Structure 1
């Protein structure tokens, strides 16, 4: 009766797997001559996420009539849904806080109706204590500003429309 020779020692692999399970190791490799055995495990690290409590809208009293807001007033955020597919939409390239001016009290980089050239700074996004200038991707006229000054913005959030 012929015996089949194992190409490697399965007991050794089991022992290595048990060693990884019992310790904080993520992988182990053993070499003997031409034979190399590497056993590894995937480790997923999750960090706790602190969530702010959701605002309670039920407790807020609804106003009898909303205050009138001029649709094209400079500095007023326009409804984002109106510009969702607009070709001149400038989206946020990062998460951070968006500012319309270089410093508090100074003139904003652009207003509605401002003529801009390609590469001109439209706004600044502060991310991790770094001020990042957001340039105009094309020349044109600013027709909408879709964020509030000093407001947090998310990646991909619509910011400005240039026509």
Structure 2
């Protein structure tokens, strides 16, 4: 996206009550959030499988908002250290969006991939629905699917691990 187009978009948003705009055009994604404080943590771009122009992020929200306090008597949520450790022989495929995770194209079709299956670079692993757009998530490198880390139909956060694979 060129600078003039970005300036035109920002000018059009001035004086409106729009607080967020996500624009996907081809392989470019623009995520604008207006009127929010800058994030307190570093934001890193997640590499995509297909070659693309560098994503333009004007401002991003904190990908890990503070958790609500647990009601008394409830078990505390598992800490990140309690999650299964990713060993050096495996890698994860992470969600590039906040959205809803789907293992198949529709409820009556089989999953894109199953545990134990060898996947090729660029092969579709799942769909993450974000703002009514179905985004296919592809393997960034070949590997054998070791574990599906998210339940079908569950919400996912930006950067959340979806699959664990071992290189082949």
- Normalising by structure 2, we get a TM-score of 0.51
Number of equivalenced pairs: 99
Q: CA RMSD in A?
A: 2.8
Query: What whole-Å deviation, never above 9, does each CA across 1:94-152 have from its counterpart, x for those lacking one?
Result: 11000001001210011110111100000000000000000001112101110000000
SS at 1:124 equivalent = strand
> Is 1:152 matched with 2:167?
no
Q: Distance in 2 between matches of 1:156 and 1:88?
A: 13
2:71 pairs with one of 56, 60, 75: 56
Q: Give, in angstroms, the shift of residue 53 of structure 1.
A: 7.2
Equivalent residue number for residue 140 of structure 1: 143
Structure 2 gaps, min length 5: 1-33, 38-66, 76-81
For residue 129 of structure 1, the aligned residue among 108, 128, 132 is 132
1:83 aligns with 2:83: no
Structure 1: gaps of 5 or more residues: 1-43, 61-78
- Aligned with 2:117 (options 114, 117, 133): 114
1:88 CA drift (Å) = 1.8
Which residue in the other structure is 2:31 paired with?
none
For the structure 1 residues 102 and 113, does the alpha-carbon distance in structure 2 shift closer, same or farther, using more than 3 Å as the test?
A: same
TM-score w.r.t. the length of structure 1 is 0.52
CA distance in 1, matches of 2:94, 2:135: 14
Q: 3-state SS of the aligned residue for 2:85? A: helix
Match for residue 5 of structure 1? none
